[in-house]
Amino acid sequence: MFERFTEGARQVVVLAQEEARLLAHMHIGTEHLLLGVIRQEDDVLPVLQARGLSLENARAEVLELVPRGDETLSGQIPFTPGAKKVLELSLEQSAALNHSIITPVHLALGLVLEGDGVAARILRDHGVDSAELERALGEYAPAALRADAYARRLALVEARIAAAERRAEVMDLVANSRDHEAAVAQVADLLGIDEELALDVTNMRLAYFTTVAVEKLRQEREDLRQRIRESG
């Protein structure tokens, strides 16, 4: 499924994991995906802002329903069944519209359609419904989406290659930064990339990168460049 995600949709998942850690929650639920959608600031944001749903008040509403935890988290955080259902629904909606990829708007629609989770409750309270998001999705041009997805993925792949080539420096920065936010800023400065890409880099398991893995990234970079040339 994740291979069909645009870079924006992938970033939603990364940010959802970060939100779960910030709130010391032992899971990634629909509420964290909602916060990830808002933080990603893609096409969904104007729809949500028009309904008075900012990151600050969304996070506050999440905490009213799911209180902050008190444990320090490490390792991967599992998805709840509800969050998994959202991902499945986003895939179904993408297929129904003959889209070849999944964007943050597909994920937002999945959050509404899931119906039972914390995110669906918050979205309903703010008057966000499936019809509004379906209209937004109906305006997408799949060809343009593919070109945008290729460009976003290429930027990520190039950032990962740069990180692999300077692995020791990146790992040292991440290990010695005062917190994750500081690490992201320092990695962005070191590699000359924006903080969205740096966030992905800091979440990578660079210690396990191999020559084969880097070669695969380089091959993917060439494939993406070719696809961008063909789509232009």
What average pLDDT does this structure show over 217-229?
A: 83
| Domain identity same for 162 and 190 | yes
| Domain identity same for 221 and 150 | yes
Does 184 score more than 70 pLDDT?
yes
The predicted structure's pLDDT at residue 205:
72
| Domain identity same for 48 and 135 | yes
Out of 112, 140, 168, pick the residue that ends a domain.
140
Distance in angstroms (rounded) separating the CA atoms of residues 150 and 1: 16
pLDDT per residue over 111-169, tens digit each?
888 888 888 888 888 888 777 777 766 665 555 556 666 777 788 888 888 888 888 88
User: At a CB cut-off of 8 Å and minimum separation 6, what does 177 contact?
Assistant: 183, 186
The predicted structure's pLDDT at residue 32:
92
∠ CA 78-36-159, nearest 5°, is 90
Contact (CB, 8 A) for 23 and 6: no
pLDDT per residue over 29-86, tens digit each?
899 999 888 887 666 666 777 777 788 888 888 888 888 877 666 667 888 899 999 9
pLDDT per residue over 1-24, tens digit each?
566 787 778 888 888 888 888 888
| Domain identity same for 163 and 127 | no
Distance in angstroms (rounded) separating the CA atoms of residues 23 and 213: 33
Overall number of domains in the chain: 2
Out of 94, 121, 140, pick the residue that ends a domain.
140
Domain region containing 219: 143-231
